[in-house]
Chain A
Amino acid sequence: MPRAAGGGAVLAMPASRWGTTLRESVRHRVSRGARLMSRTQGGSGVAEEHAFAIDEVVLRRGDTTVLDRVSLRVPVGRCTALVGRSGSGKSTLLRVLTRLAEPDSGAVYYRGVPVAEWDVLELRRRVQLVAQNPVLLAGTAAEEVAVGAGALGEERIAELLGRVGLDAGLAGRETAALSGGEAQRLALARSLALEPDVLLLDEPTAALDSESATAIENAVRSLVRNNVTVLLVSHATEQVRRIADHAAVLVAGRVADSGPPGELTYLEETA
């Protein structure tokens, strides 16, 4: 995982010291967090203003507490970044949102309705999870774009490829022959084919060439402009600053800090 050497040294601190630091930090940031919430909630204080409202979610795997009372608001039509070291529970949180994983306790609301009350297939179509290393499922790029949405016309396929910065001429290519960056962008395109309201992106540009990374960032920005909600798991501090409106830092399964990316001191240490 790419991360600054200095950050690694900070993270190697014993858990007890972390605890103290976090408590202090959280206390001093609470007021700013509340201010941010009220802005995105429009002052009404109800969860409908958010795509996702996550309350006190706990998920244990064996003896490990993967998510430790995580609370988070994901505002509609914005890009929220979730940062933290690998193993801090970011990917698991994304899986909880689409019910691929079930929390042991806590509540998750999508559009103000508990996720368990949604038809799970509809929830997953509206909320597209793009995995960190997406597996391509079809023979050709065109079939791949249509694998979830069903039959799509040539024009629509070309348009979707264009939105992730891929050439329409790629449509006939064998998916097995694509580069990692092309595969990642194709996976995003097959999700966009479903016209989701929310995109959950798990490290979408990790280990990608800069052209692919830029194409994905551009696609994300354009989606957010069109009122699509994006929750982005990322290690790349610069990327988070470029495209996220809001960031939350997960440390050992807990939200240690949250706010506008520019104000988060934890960003450097964890990314």
Chain B
Amino acid sequence: MNGTELGWLEVGTSVLLVAVAVLVAAHQRLGLSKDVLLAAVRAFVQLVAVGMVLVVIFEHGGALGALGWVVLMVVIAGQVAGRRGKGVPRAKIIATVSVASGAGVALAVLLLLDVFPGRPSVIVPIGGMIVANSMQAVGLVLLRLAEHVDDSRAEIEARLSLGMDSAEAFGPHRRSAARAALLPAIDATKVVGLISLPGAMTGLILAGVDPLTAIRYQIVVMYMILGAAALAAAVAVHLGQRRLFDQAQRLRV
């Protein structure tokens, strides 16, 4: 990296902007001065802590340590996405398995086909992006599945009563949940570069990487997010449906 090296002195200087925020809050009597300070301190502490952990993983953890970090992210993502699925039995387990499937396959493809080198400094940020986007897709799937069961119970049971099995009776709702989960990733992919300059690309450019290299990274990132989110959503839809219905082809909840 030969770009603008950011030192602790420069970070210290940027505290001026926190002071601006605090002054604005105080002047307008927003009652938020304390919150602004607290948020600034929290961000500092969290990022320094994560930075130190990453230093340790990058220097001593090797690829296995990095994958361990990704596993930890998957577990946390499973808890977060699973909370969206109130009303879906075992939502957190479904979410964890789904995120793990999407992230695992995407990461395996990228590393095994040598798209990215298997270095910790690559695995951790790439894994993070994949896990975060899979988490979003899975959370949306579970949210929609729970909503459909709430709103469309009569419709689902009408189909079951006509002798359809649960897969057929739930088909329209399953497809609707999967569509809803994938639209954000598809939209983001459509407008990338036009409306948003995504984080990975911005970061590379800031760090002095030539824009054409940066966009190559970004293209791969968008494709892997699409693939991981689609796979995670598909697994979540499948597992969710299986948990929503029992052997007697009826809603369990």
Contact = CB atoms under 8 A, between A and B. Distances in A.
Given A124-B161, A148-B164, A194-B162, A100 B250 contact: yes
A229 B21 CA distance: 76
Contact of B158 (A120, A134, A194): A134
Contact of B162 (A100, A116, A122, A147): A147
Interface in A82-102: 98-102
Contacts of A133: 154
A124 B160 contact: yes
Interface in B22-41: none
A224 B160 CA distance: 24
Contacts of A101: 250
B165 A121 contact: yes
Nearest to B157: A100
A124 B163 contact: yes
Given A133-B154, A135-B155, A120 B249 contact: yes
B248 A137 contact: no
B159 interface: yes
Given A99-B248, A121-B249, A131 B157 contact: yes
Interface in B115-162: 154-155, 157-162
Contacts of B162: 124-125, 128, 147-148, 190-191, 194
Interface residues of B, number: 14
Interface of B: 154-155, 157-165, 248-250
Contacts of B165: 121
A98 B159 contact: no
Interface in A1-50: none
A249 interface: no
Interface residues of A, number: 25
**Which of B154, B159, B163 has the most A CB atoms < 10 Å from its CB?**
B163
Contact of A131 (B158, B163, B248): B158
A148 B163 contact: yes
Contacts of A99: 248-250
A129 B154 contact: no
Contacts of A187: 158
14 contacts: A99-B249, A99-B250, A100-B160, A100-B250, A124-B162, A124-B249, A125-B163, A131-B154, A131-B157, A131-B158, A134-B158, A137-B158, A148-B164, A191-B161
A98 B157 CA distance: 11
A17 B23 CA distance: 73
A122 B154 CA distance: 20
A204 to B, nearest CB: 14
A135 B163 contact: no
Contacts of B250: 99-102
Contacts of B159: 137
A131 B155 contact: no
A137 B173 CA distance: 13
A101 B158 CA distance: 14
Nearest to B162: A148
Given A135-B154, A135-B155, A120 B248 contact: yes
